[in-house]
Amino acid sequence: MILFKQRVAFLLVFLILTSSAMFGQDEHYSQFYANPVYLNPAFTGTANCPRFTLNFRDQWPSIPGNFINCSGSYDQFIHLISSGIGVLFSADIEGGGILQTYQANAIYSFRVQAAEKLNFQFALQGGFLGASLNWSKLQTASDLLNTWAQNDFPQEMENGLAKSQFDAAFGWMGYTPYLYFGMAIHHLLPLEKSFIGHFSNFINSKWSPRWTAHLGGKITFKQKIRNKESFGDFFLYPNIIFISQENFHYLHEGAYFKIYPFTIGTWIRHNFKNLDAFIFSCGLEYNNFRFGYSYDFNLTALERTGGAHEVSIQYIIPCSNELSNKAQQKKKFRNATLDCPCY
């Protein structure tokens, strides 16, 4: 077993340096509001009508073994019980498939009207988090791996390097016609992230909770028809988002400029010491579809990484807005939708 630990040391270094999951850090998307349920489960049902979202992110494409993230979600609001329901799926593929993480979650949210034009939503999320480590893709170490005797491998490795666990999250948010804010915590339960018990001697084997806080607003410069967007309407959405997980603390500050049906956004992502990235995004709304693209310009010492490309698609199924329209007319804000940026 001592021989095994010596020979596996370089593999641990590789995984620790290249895998955010080994640090206990979840994948981050730059189009925060194009992936609202991932940002905070309390966004579930805020569109009232059924909503589908798809997101794809390719980080550091110029480096071999880049990071690929994708997610998909569905959510809707049920007026009869003042609740939202949804599902969220995500996949994180790192190191060219060496490390893969998958999540499948179900979400329930409940809406409360606290004041004439103030709603709160509270949400619970539960599901499974699975991860696998594919040794066959570690081609750079193939010569070393072939020299290992069969009895050098611990029993856990012989049975396959895969793990699945139950996971949970909680979120809340409040919103008015001009302001929205909230907080969420993911990985409420203690989760193991090491595949082999021997690895816990080298790294922290617990998956750290992810804390998220967000605050944003809507400023209307031009709107022809009240409660309805039309061509040429002009809005500004300033936002700030804070995400913290283990030793990683990131602050995102930016704004979206919307001249319907086009949207342009700019963001700065940084920790408390250094700049991390400048983010540019653009989007287009067509009927009930919303298309978005963003690019992260790297501002760290890492060079020639290729930044990060991100694409999003949203589709809202048309539904009866009778309750929402009546809510606007009678000032019963409880059934009103959340008006926040789409990207």
Tens-digit pLDDT profile for residues 181-194: 999 999 998 777 66
- Residue 89 maps to a domain: yes
Coil, strand or helix: which one is 301?
A: coil
Nearest in space to 264 (alpha carbons), one of 239, 290, 294? 294
Determine if residue 65 is left, alpha or beta; phi over 0 gives left, psi from -120 to 50 gives alpha, anything else beta: left
Mean pLDDT calculated for residue range 265-290: 93
Banded model confidence at residue 157, pLDDT cuts 50, 70, 90: low
Asked if 314 contacts 34 with a C-beta cutoff of 8 angstroms, the reply is: yes
> Once rounded to an integer, what is the mean pLDDT over residues 316-324?
72
**What DSSP line would sit under 174-236, residue for residue?**
EE-SSEEEEEEEE--S-EE--SSGGGGGTS--EEPPEEEEEEEE-EEEE-SBTTB--TT-EEE
211: tokens are 């804390």
Residues sharing a CB contact under 8 Å with residue 273, sequence separation 6 or more, in sequence order: none
- Domains held by the chain: number: 1
CATH of the domain at 136: 2.40.160.40
**Lowest pLDDT segment from 97-106, 113-122, 294-303, 316-325:** 316-325
- Residue span of the structural domain in which 142 resides: 2-335
Span 233-246, pLDDT tens digits? 999 999 999 999 98
62 band by pLDDT with thresholds 50, 70 and 90: confident
Average pLDDT over residues 75-97: 91
Mean pLDDT, the chain, rounded, equals 82
- Whole-number Å distance between alpha carbons of 268 and 280: 9
Could you tell me if 34 and 52 are in contact, meaning their C-beta atoms sit under 8 angstroms apart? Answer: no
Is 342 within the bounds of a domain? no
Yes or no: say if 37 and 75 are a contact pair by the CB < 8 Å rule.
Answer: yes
Question: Higher confidence at residue 1 or residue 282?
Answer: 282
106 pLDDT more than 90: yes
Q: Considering the domain boundaries, does residue 340 fall inside one?
A: no
Helix (H, G, I), strand (E, B) or coil at 28: coil
pLDDT at res. 7: 43
The whole-number average pLDDT for the span 270-279 is 92
Q: Exposure of 274 by Cβ count < 10 A (0-12 exposed, 13-18 middle, 19+ buried)? A: exposed
Kindly state whether residue 343 falls inside one of the protein's structural domains.
no
Maximum average pLDDT range among 124-138, 213-227, 308-322: 213-227
Burial 182-196 (b: 16+ CB within 10 A, else e): bbbbbbeeebebbbb
Q: Buried b vs exposed e over 284-312: b needs ≥16 C-beta within 10 Å?
A: ebeeeebbbbbbbebeeeeeeeebbebbb
What lies within 8 Å, CB to CB, of 244 at 6+ separation is 210, 211, 212, 250
Residue-wise pLDDT tens digits, 111-145: 999 988 899 999 999 999 988 877 666 554 444 45
When pLDDT is averaged across residues 189-205 and rounded to a whole number, the result is 58
Q: Is residue 148 part of a domain?
A: yes
